[in-house]
Amino acid sequence: MNIQAYIDRSNEGLDEDEGDDLMWVQGGVSKKSIKTVEKKIGFVFPESYRSFLSDFGSIAAGDSTVSGIDNADPLALKGGTIYGDTLFMRDDFKDQYAVPEHLWVLVKHEDGAYCFNFNVKTDEDEYAIVNYEPHLPLKTFEEPVARTFHEFLVKRFF
C-alpha cells in the first residue's frame, strides 16, 4: 500500500469538527529544497524518504511529527524539519541528548528520537532507522527499528 492510501485510511471516519485528530500533511517540497538540505548535512537521503518529501513534505498524527523540509526555507531551524529537529536536539539540549553526528532526527519522542543512522546502509540501499535514547547504552541504538523509511513509517504511524 502506498503512503497516501495509509493516510486516507487513517483519516477515514474521522471528523475534525468533532475534535478528531486527522493526519496532517504539509505538502510536497521541491527537489531543490531536498538537495539543499542534503548538501548541508553531507548525506544523500534514501530514495523512499526523498519520495516522501516530494509528495508530502512532512506529516503529523496527534503529537507525533515525521520531520521533513520546509519548502520556503529548507534550512529552517524549527520543529518538524529534519534539519531543525536534529540541530535543536544536538545544540540546544546537548547535555541531555548528545545526538551523534551520524544520526539525523526523523521523529522526536519523550525519551529521544527515531533517527536515520547514516553509518548503517541496509541491503535495500537505505539507511537504517534507530531509536536513540541518550540514557540507554550506546549499543542499544545501534539495532535498527526499521531497515527502510517506508517500513518505519508504516510501523510507527499506520
Q: Which of 20, 135, 157, 72 is nearest to 145 (CA)?
A: 157
Number of independent structural domains in the chain: 1
- For the chain, the DSSP string reads --HHHHHHHHHTT--GGGT--PPEE-----HHHHHHHHHHHT-PPPHHHHHHHHHTS-EEETTEEE-B--SS-TT--STTBHHHHHHIIIIITTTTT---TTEEEEEEETTEEEEEEEEEE-TTSSEEEEEE-TTS-GGGGGSEEESSHHHHHHHHH-
What pLDDT is stored for residue 145 in this prediction?
A: 94
Containing structural domain, residue 91: 3-157
Task: For residue range 46-99, list pLDDT tens digits in order.
Answer: 999 999 999 998 888 778 889 999 988 999 999 899 999 999 988 876 777 678
Mean pLDDT of 100-123: 92
What pLDDT is stored for residue 140 in this prediction?
A: 67
Instruction: Kindly report the CATH number assigned to the domain that includes residue 78.
Output: 3.40.1580.10
What pLDDT is stored for residue 22 in this prediction?
A: 62
% pLDDT > 90, the chain: 53
